[in-house]
Amino acid sequence: MQYVVASALSTRRVDLASFYDEPLDDPAVLAMAAKVVCPPDEKSDFPTHFPGEVAVQLADGQSLRRRIPASYGTPENPMSETDVTAKFMSNAARRLPGEQAQQLAKAVEQLDQLDRISPILDACTAAAP
């Protein structure tokens, strides 16, 4: 958890690249991780919901705190279509060329209109390098 929080604060995102493409020993992220404390969440109703809270103590003494009662992407806190598509593209583009990943995204978006699944299967087949 310390690495995830530090990565989010240092790079403003956490995605698969955070764990596979970027160095896991980045000094800035590790220095931030050393400052992260993860106490038990006494207010949590897990596993009913997946809450989260972050409290940040700034160098000037100011404290910032934000609590979210349910994780982003859950039924209680659904992701926007734009964010779903962006997350999909970020992940799919790790294995498929960008245009092919877009083709797959479009095929999935039109799933209810397809009379057969071959457009999806075709789009899932990675092009030879």
Q: What is the pLDDT of residues 61-101, one digit of tens each?
A: 999 999 999 999 999 999 999 999 999 999 998 888 889 99
**Last-in-domain residue among 37, 68, 99:** 68
Global pTM reads: 0.73
Give the CA angle between residues 74, 76, 79 to the nearest 5°.
50
Same-domain status, 63 and 6:
yes
**Last-in-domain residue among 68, 91, 111:** 68
Beta carbons of 123 and 103 less than 8 angstroms apart: yes
Partners of 69 in the β-ladder: none
Per-residue pLDDT tens for 36-67?
999 999 999 999 999 999 999 999 999 999 99
Q: Is the pLDDT of residue 128 over 80?
A: no
Enclosing domain of residue 102 = 81-124
Same-domain status, 109 and 62:
no
Evaluate whether residue 112 is within a structural domain.
yes
Q: Roughly how many angstroms between the first and final C-alpha of the chain, as a whole number? A: 36
Evaluate whether residue 41 is within a structural domain.
yes
